[in-house]
Amino acid sequence: MRHRSHRHSLGVKKEHREALMANLAAALFRHGRIETTLAKAKALRPFAEKIITLAKKAAATDDASRKLHYRRQAIAKVRDKAAVKALFDERVNEFVNRKGGYVRIYKLIQRESDGASMGIIELISGDDEGYTKSKRAKKPAAKKEKAEKPAEEAPVAVEEAPAAEEAAAEGDASSEEEKKD
């Protein structure tokens, strides 16, 4: 069966697609940010993140043979030794504390000549916290707090009830004094 085998085919043969991804990844690792079509950027994201993961694994291990193995795996896919060297030696420190999401894609306006959707794909720095959560994510948490508050306020209301009765009794006493005057 060939189910789910056509993701990011980009309308080209396998060999052409592999060469295209290798060239785009090499440019991304060298420059940190490239502008390309949105479809190519979306296809490049998982490819580049797997190469960055190899670099992180190489940085995390102390075994020289494992480091060489990871570097050779990356070179086999990217096909540019200088780009892999830059990633493994210089840029990997940015990603060591990050658990994923090493690449971000921004959408741009369509290209004027052929109307292709354009985008910028860039490597994210390690200290970037990303986007803040939307207000929608905070609202369900607020509803849970409101649901818990009545349970907490119920004993307080019972305690205030005698105080309210005393205040009412004092009010009755003061009103009776006013009637006498």
Sign of the Cα torsion 48, 50, 54, 56 reads: positive
pLDDT in tens, 120-130: 999 998 778 77
pLDDT in tens, 21-73: 999 999 999 999 999 999 999 999 999 999 999 999 999 999 999 999 999 99
pTM, two decimal places: 0.70
pLDDT in tens, 136-181: 755 555 555 555 555 555 455 445 555 555 555 566 555 555 555 5
DSSP 123-169: EPPTT---PPPPHHHHHHHHHHHHHHHHHHHHHHHHHHHHHHHHHHH
- The predicted model gives 73-86 an average pLDDT of 97
Q: Provide φ and ψ at 85, rounded to 5°.
A: -60, -45
Confidence at residue 160, expressed as pLDDT on a 0 to 100 scale: 52
93 SS3 class: helix
Res. 108: pLDDT tops 80: yes
Alpha-carbon distance of 166 to 172, in angstroms, equals 10
Single out the residue of 78, 69, 70 nearest to residue 21, CA to CA. 78
Alpha-carbon distance of 11 to 160, in angstroms, equals 73
User: 92 with 59: CB under 8 angstroms?
Assistant: yes
- The predicted model gives 68-82 an average pLDDT of 97
**Domain at 14-123: CATH code:** 3.90.1030.10
Single out the residue of 92, 18, 140 nearest to residue 10, CA to CA. 18
Q: Where are the domains of the chain?
A: 14-123, 132-181
115 SS3 class: coil
